Structure 1
């Protein structure tokens, strides 16, 4: 039997991506997101229009998509409920977001120079994709809160142990991406740990996850 609950969040499960961009002053910004899908050598990103990542992406026209493994869940969770925007938007303040200038430092991650774009890579991420923005599209109402941004992958960096020897393919048995399902972290099919994001959004299963 099916029910019609009227779902508040359609967040069934996608890989977590750490997007690195350059701020206007040249410093690095780093933001976790999980609204991304790939086709061929392109990727579509779903981002809030007021986020610092979006501002940087539109200004600089480039970014790096860093894909963390499930083992990096602690580092990713430390970035939850933070923003690189000095003046925190009201709706983010209500969700208890706070401004953090040094996102790499907060997460305990390392900046690694890219080869084709200005934005840095995350050294600890086993997959890093240097990208260039190719198009942007508004989503929703006349004053949308989100947009869809297509980026083209210019260069892919993959940890050697993830590549099937003698091929250009990632070994799906070796690659264990960090997955976010309904604001909770999963890896290897298991709920890894309670999520700050789920707490901020008052998701009803937070108590169960932290048991």
Structure 2
């Protein structure tokens, strides 16, 4: 029997992301989050409007989405209640956040250069996506949009649309003989479910009918070139 409830959050399980952005002085801010979803090579992320990551993203117009595996859970957890904002915002003060300038050092993480943007990637994360900002939207429905319009600094949460421009994946996660296909049996993303960390311990449950469609057919049109145009013609 189902029961009607009103949970405080609806985090039924999403991948954890470490977002790297550049501060004003060129140093790197790293923030864990799990409000992200993808369609093709576009991504939507949800961030607190007053966060350091939001500030940096609006100014620099770019970021890297670094995906930790279960092996990096310790580093992610060490960043969970840290902020790059000084002074610490009032709400974060009440929930035990502290200001940390060198988040990379605090988490024991290192960086390596990106190829198409200035913001570096997190070396330890098996999957890294370079991204550029496309748009920002006050999040929360028409009521929020009517109240704040396009003033992203006033809205409590902002949804950012990102365009992924380059993807880096550790070689050992690729399917044998396939240059552009991730082996989902090897990739073990770190999952957040109701603020707790989980991994994909059970493996594949049953073969997926959807997975029978060749993965290349999902490639966005601008990356298909003439092959997609030929198919549509």
Q: TM-score, normalised by structure 1?
A: 0.88
For each residue in 1:130-180, what CA deviation from the matched residue of structure 2 results, as whole angstroms up to 9, or x when unmatched? 000011110133342101101111100000011112321110000000000
- CA shift, 1:189, in A, is 4.1
Mapped partners of 1:3, 1:83: distance in 2: 37
1:157 is aligned to 168
SS at match of 1:165: coil
SS at match of 2:160: strand
C-alpha distance 134-104 of structure 1, shift in aligned 2 (>3 A): same
The equivalences for 1:96-107 within 5 A come to 96-107=96-107
SS at match of 1:148: strand
1:38 is aligned to 38
Segments of 5+ residues of structure 2 without an aligned counterpart are: 148-153, 203-233
Structure (1/2) with the larger strand percentage = 1
Q: Does 1:184 align with 2:196?
A: yes
The equivalences for 1:1-150 within 5 A come to 1-140=1-140, 141=144, 142=147, 143-150=154-161
Segments of 5+ residues of structure 1 without an aligned counterpart are: 191-211
- CA shift, 1:115, in A, is 1.1
Structure (1/2) with the larger helix percentage = 2
Q: Comparing 28-37 with 1-10, which one deviates more in the overlay?
A: 1-10
SS at match of 2:184: coil
Q: Comparing 104-113 with 138-147, which one deviates more in the overlay?
A: 138-147
- CA shift, 1:71, in A, is 1.0
- The size of the alignment, in residue pairs, is 190
Q: Comparing 165-174 with 90-99, which one deviates more in the overlay?
A: 165-174
For each residue in 1:163-204, what CA deviation from the matched residue of structure 2 results, as whole angstroms up to 9, or x when unmatched? 1123211100000000000000001248xxxxxxxxxxxxxx
1:172 is aligned to 184
Q: Comparing 164-173 with 96-105, which one deviates more in the overlay?
A: 164-173
Mapped partners of 2:125, 2:64: distance in 1: 11
The runs of at least 4 consecutive aligned structure 1 residues that moved more than 6 Å come to: none
SS at match of 2:75: helix
Mapped partners of 2:166, 2:5: distance in 1: 43
SS at match of 2:72: helix
